[in-house]
Structure 1
Amino acid sequence: MKLRKLFSTVIVSLALICGASFQARAESAGEALTKASVLETIKKRGVMRVGISTFVPWAFRDKTGEFVGFEVDIAKKIAEDMGLDVEFVPTSFSGIIPALLAGKFDVIITGISIQTKRAMTINYSNPYAQSGQALTANKKLAEGFTTLADFNKPDVVISTRRGTVGAKTAKALFPKAEHRFFDEDIQAFQEVMNGKAHAFVALEPMPTLWALAHADVLFKPLGDQRLTNQLSGFAVRRGDPDILAFLNSWIHMRQADNWLNQRHKFWFGTNEWYELLEVPPVQ
């Protein structure tokens, strides 16, 4: 009987020791993860480092050399809400993911589209914005056109830049139309301006900006309807749930109070920001 009691006592003691040891290891691992978290690093540093690539109007330099644009507004707002400063790290788009993985900055905020292959290398936040291909037409040639079907006819001419997503989209949506391809967007645009094509298809915001700049000749017969939708998310290094949770929470809050939508409309739906540039992107 005494031997049994002794054996039971030993088993219970071992269990307690193992449990305590496991808990200690778990707590230690948790502390290590917290210390390694980008969010904690940013808070301690007092500065959020943001990787950007310059594309008008996502991010570009104004007359004074300062960074401005939709993504710049977002990065500054995130930093402001955190009570921190922001540092922009301009990087070529082709090298921006490798630079993130190398620790050159904390997060990519540059309109990077959510794609499956990229998601195997980086973690995306929830979508915070969307863009896509859109159509702008010649008022005279496309008078009365209001639907996609109106442009899918043999006597309709669609102009696009050769080899682009816009060209592929136009071919897919308007197989019956005549398609003319050009080496540059501006050439496809001029074809419509000169009355030689009914419409052109390109990535927003260029169709909207051209329509605003030449409202006497051009219009958007489909309104704000896009031909395709491209979702954008913030990008961070994999294995860090804290920064991802924070960014997703921020997106949720700024979508709920309409801040993101208002800034998107300003940069992609108006030309009020042209005054920031020496030469407007569309003339």
Structure 2
Amino acid sequence: MSFKANKIRTAISAALFAVGVLAASGADAKDWTEVRIATEGAYPPFNFVDANGQLQGFDVDIANALCEAMKAKCTLVAQDWDGIIPALIAGKFDAIVASMTITEERKKTIDFTDRYYRTPLAVIGPKDAAEDVSPEALKGKVIGAQSSTTQAEYAEKNYVPGGAELKLYPTQDEANLDLANSRLDAIIGDKFVIAEWIKKDGAECCKFLGDAPGTTSDTGIAVRKEDTDLRDKLNAAITEIRANGTYDKIRAKYFDFDIY
């Protein structure tokens, strides 16, 4: 075989190999026309289960709007908060739309979209409590918070060293119930969530003691680190629903003020 013929054969083999590699990578690539989304289902008004057993809430409506913008068929499932990140990493679903705050610690294991709302933390307590959320005011008090949340981290960092006791709960509703039943001196939580609870169920027992200083943070959609294409599609969809008015229509259904 001539040198020229051998070069041609080598080039053809390389080209065929490249085609094979591209075909294999294409087979593994996802088109994201079907997306599985998890939410907690125990964090009203952002996500909850209604009397008919259906997931409802701001997060759920936003997820559905994003799927419509992406022209994707989406399946929403409820997942307990404590196991929600491990389940995402394990591939049980593709994204989390569950009012998850974007933190540097979480970004070590998962990725986030741009924010879809922003929220501060606040402290509430009994009607006769002093409206003071300083560590000194809460010294010796029992404070409740949902476990594995930024509010639990804040209480651990800011109140426990000052002499407060922190009690953790699987859901925000359980912490609220213990406060209403005088088993806690205060709870710390997402201001919008506990405002909704006070308005509906806690008006007789409880009141705002104050915002937790410096706690306003961004909430995003969590995806696996390798799913950058899904993250980008979701970001484009967030931009679209913000621009076409869909986001504001959903927000107005739950809040009479801007949360973005």
Interval of TM-score (by shorter of Structure 1 and Structure 2) = 0.5 to 0.7
Question: What is the RMSD of the two structures over their aligned residues, measured on CA atoms?
Answer: 4.6
User: 2 CA distance for matches of 1:136 and 1:212?
Assistant: 12
Counterpart in 2 of 1:110? 98
Which of 50, 53, 56 lines up with 1:65 in the alignment?
53
Per-residue CA deviation, residues 127-146 of structure 1 (Å, 9 max, x unaligned), is 3344452134678765xx7x
Q: Which letter does structure 1 place at the counterpart of 2:71?
A: G
| Corresponding position of 1:202 | 189
- 1:250 is aligned to 237
Match in the other structure for 1:218: 207
Q: 2:74 aligns with which of 79, 82, 86?
A: 86
TM-score (norm 1): 0.60
SS in 1 for 2:42: coil
Partners of 1:245 and 1:260 in 2: CA distance:
18
Please name the residue that 2:42 is paired with: 55
Between 1 and 2, higher relative CO (CA 8 Å, sep ≥ 6) is seen in 2
Equivalent of residue 226 in structure 2, options 233, 239, 249: 239
Larger radius of gyration: 1
Number of positions where the alignment pairs a residue of Structure 1 with one of Structure 2 = 243
AA aligned opposite 2:233? F
Structure 1, unpaired ranges of 5+: 1-5, 271-283
Structure showing the higher helix proportion among its residues: 1
Relative distance call for 1:226 and 1:73 in structure 2 (3 A) is farther
Q: What is the CA distance between 1:265 and its match in structure 2?
A: 6.3
Contact 1:151 1:177 in 2 (8 A): no
- Structure 2 gaps of 5+ residues are 169-174
Shift of 1:73: 1.0
Partners of 2:86 and 2:160 in 1: CA distance: 39
Q: Per residue, is there more strand in 1 or in 2?
A: 2
Amino acid at match of 2:154: T
Counterpart contact for 1:60–1:67, Cα < 8 Å = yes
Aligned AA for 1:218?
A: K
Are the counterparts in 1 of residues 48 and 57 from structure 2 also a CA contact under 8 Å?
A: yes
- Give the whole-Å Cα distance in 2 for the aligned partners of 1:82 and 1:30: 25
1:71-101 Cα offsets, whole Å, 9 max, x none, are: 2112211222233432223333444445445
CA distance in 2, matches of 1:207, 1:168: 17
* 2:215 corresponds to: 227
Contact 1:160 1:166 in 2 (8 A): no
For 1:93 and 1:109, the matched residues in 2 are separated by 11
